[in-house]
Amino acid sequence: MAQIIWNESYSVNNADIDAQHKEWIAIYNRLDNILLTGSGDAVSRAATDALQAMQEYASYHFRQEEQYLREINYPDLVTHKRLHTDFDDQIYGYNRKIRSGEFVLNTEVISIIKTWLLHHILHEDQKYCAFVAQG
């Protein structure tokens, strides 16, 4: 899986949220590197740690982003929050499976995370960016 390289099409024209997205992409890139270059137990431990870091950062970022959406009176806040909750639940589920020793395909995990991140930033987050621009 290819690394995600930040470009301006990901920007939501909010420096704080853009910085958070950049950090989240950096966490993804570290996870991608671990899963694709490591082997054995070391990968399992590193993947667990990286997924935990991703979940923790997602929780932080979601709180910050949702606060911003409240401040701008974003009309689709409830829907946006649901997307956040669904992703958080999904990452939690992967974390739980890995920690309990269940077999989880690394390529599946990384693909789902990348797809979600890019879709969310490029489509869902751009909706509130457009809302602010119309304001």
Residue 78 located in a structural domain: yes
pLDDT 10s per residue in the chain (135 long)? 689 999 999 999 999 999 999 998 998 898 888 777 766 666 667 777 777 888 898 999 999 999 999 999 999 999 999 999 999 999 889 888 877 877 777 777 788 889 999 999 999 999 999 999 997
| pLDDT at 27 (0 to 100) | 87
Ordered alpha helix ranges (H), 9-134? 15-37, 40-71, 77-99, 106-119, 125-134
Residue 5 located in a structural domain: no
| pLDDT at 121 (0 to 100) | 95
Helix (H, G, I), strand (E, B) or coil at 26: helix
Residue 88 located in a structural domain: yes
The residue range of the domain holding 76 is 13-134
Residues with Cβ within 8 Å of residue 60, at least 6 apart in sequence:
20
Q: What CA–CA distance (Å, rounded) separates 81 from 56?
A: 16
- Specify the CATH number for the domain of residue 40: 1.20.120.50
| pLDDT at 38 (0 to 100) | 67
DSSP string, 108-123: HHHHHHHHHHHHIIII
Give residue for tokens 């395909």: 105
